[in-house]
Chains A and B, each alone.
Chain A
Amino acid sequence: MSDGGQAPGVGGGPPGDSWTKRLFRLREEPPYYVRILLGVSSVGLLLLVWGGMTSGDIPEHRAISPAVLPSLGETAQSLPRLFGERGLIASIAASLTRVFLGFGLACVIGIPFGMLAGAWRPLNAFVTPLVIFGRNIPIAALIPLTLMWFGIDETQKVMFLFIATVPFVFSSAASAVVAIHQRYVETAQTLGASSWQVFRKVLAPLALPQVFTDQRQLFGLAFGYIMLAELVNAKRGLGFLIQMSQKRSQPEDILMILVIIGLLAWLIDKTLSWFQRGLFPYRRDL
């Protein structure tokens, strides 16, 4: 980490610089362990602030009352209860199943149609008003509506997610195809490819990595939405669990569930990103 007596490079470029200078270099990714360290320290900082605000032997000594923000210890103690009597695993399974079904359906329908619409723009023009409408529906209005249309069972949750996410999936897939440089199409055409061959062999595969990246992000959206749906008329699910915790005045349960949701989302994203790298070896930037 020391300068090692090397002459500084012109313009502060080469690795002879001190590590502080290197931290501030534009667009340069720090080494793996530095990245981990930085990430851990942001979480650590949050915990530190949290711990500080909730320290004190008796509630009156705390900066924030335990009814508002429980201490770290109290939050950790909710773990056995959550896994035990409150059935956290079953709720996680219920929520994830709904997301996979609802968002999965949105992908199965939205991605092919979106990609086709990106390639055949009249189709895009035809669907665009619906998509804009769909992306701007107040999500809160969709819950009562889907309850009336699909009842109070799983179908309602899945369809709610589908309707809420399919416009986003569609337009992300369409833009990914639109963004592919026309040169690729022209090259394929001068090599004798038919329109369908250009789509299938060039446009679609070139757009897929971006489509995949977009769906990774939208998955987060879907995961957030499902808890919303679970606030109403649900018997299982993370949203339901959170709502019950509120009714029982157990903020430490809510916090713990949020931590677990965060970990879960991170784990799923890592898995997807691992798949993505395997699926698209030609994109070294993923």
Chain B
Amino acid sequence: MSEDAPVPFKDADALIKEIDAAAKADPPPAAPDRDAAPPAPEVTVVAAGGEAPAPAAAPSGRPAIVEFKHVTKTYGDGPKAFTAIKDVHFRIEDIPGKGEFICVLGPSGCGKSTVLRLIAGLGPQHPPTTGEVLVDGRPVVGPGADRGMVFQDYTSFDHMTVEDNVAFGLACRGVGKAERIGQAHGWIDKVGLSVKNDARKYPHQLSGGMRQRVAIARTLILSPRIILMDEPFGALDPSTRMQMQDNLVALWRDLEATVFFVTHSIEEAVYLGDRVHILSSSPGTLLREITVPPPDRPAHAMQRDPRFLEYVFDIRDTIETLEASRRAGDD
């Protein structure tokens, strides 16, 4: 434990400067001052429902990888109608050679899963009641392997060994047995499992963390353009969770995929994300998009860095302020 003291990462400052520059020269937030009037967060802010500013890196006419156009989802009708998300509007650019890591934060029941499932094309969230969900410029019509999804629970096919679980998508594509098991072994290794010990096990022989590793490998093996993760680490203990975060960061660097990662841990969102989308409580609307520094160190080191914690506190304050003003506005 003693070696966990906040050893400053060699190039941390340089890195953060670079990142800040990349993030349109946003300075890191000042230490939050709880007594002062809530400062407007000094980060890229997009007002919900408002016109999104012209995308910074708008590449020549490329359609956005994901775009929500004033999306509202209402379940049921008549007096029982319930609006889960309301007028959610955002655009994630398709930056060539690099995907973005978007974390979706919000209180439970605010519609985070709804947003993810709309992108995935899974019912009953799909289709939206009004508005449009576009992936790569085309409306989502149903689920597909281009949008991989990792859930929190019921994640493994219990009747298949680990290697068959990981190779599932390839099998559906008709890839031959030897070829797909070979690839599966590569991914079992990449997600930190042992090919020798774990590949032939059944899911009931694995811990919760190992099952999530299987689920991640099974999704990534198909190299989806978009990876949707719905609180994938929500049921894990803190230290397993950090290991999984590190593993995910390492894997994602080679992937060039856009990730949507739902969590209600602010730390997790700030650590993993390039950007954090904050949803309001029900009916969910997109309150803010905040750019955060991407992970440059292992989770346990970075998540105790004062600079990191400033981001966390700042976002916490932002959420409180936004919720308070929203409630005030409702009355």
Interface residues of A, Cβ cutoff 8 Å to B:
181, 183-184, 186-194, 197, 201-202, 205-206, 208, 280-284
Contacts and interface: CB of A to CB of B under 8 A. Distances in A.
Give the interface SS of chain A, mostly helix, strand, loop or mixed.
helix
A190 B149 CA distance: 6
B95 interface: no
Contact of B148 (A181, A190, A282): A190
A186 B158 CA distance: 15
B202 A281 contact: yes
A199 to B, nearest CB: 12
Interface of B: 120, 122, 142-145, 147-149, 151, 153-155, 157-160, 168-169, 171-173, 202-204, 215, 218-219, 222, 228
B159 A192 contact: no
A77 B173 CA distance: 67
**Which of A181, A183, A187, A188 has the most CB atoms of chain B within a 10 A radius of its CB?**
A187
A282 B145 CA distance: 26
A206 B151 CA distance: 18
Contacts of A284: 204
B158 A187 contact: no
Contact of B144 (A183, A192, A282, A283): A192
A282 B203 contact: yes
A183 B172 contact: no
Nearest to B171: A201
Contacts of B173: 192
A188 B147 CA distance: 12
A181 B202 CA distance: 18
A215 B222 CA distance: 38
21 contacts: A183-B151, A186-B120, A187-B154, A188-B168, A188-B172, A190-B145, A190-B148, A190-B149, A190-B219, A191-B218, A191-B219, A192-B145, A192-B172, A193-B169, A201-B168, A201-B171, A206-B158, A208-B159, A280-B159, A282-B159, A282-B204
Contact of A187 (B149, B159, B171, B222): B149
Contact of A190 (B147, B159, B160, B203): B147
A107 to B, nearest CB: 20
A280 B145 CA distance: 29
Contacts of B202: 281-282
Contact of A186 (B122, B160, B172, B204): B122
Contacts of A197: 172
A202 B122 contact: no
B239 to A, nearest CB: 26
Contacts of B204: 282-284
A95 to B, nearest CB: 35
Nearest to B228: A190
B284 to A, nearest CB: 21
Contact of B157 (A184, A189, A280): A184
B151 to A, nearest CB: 6
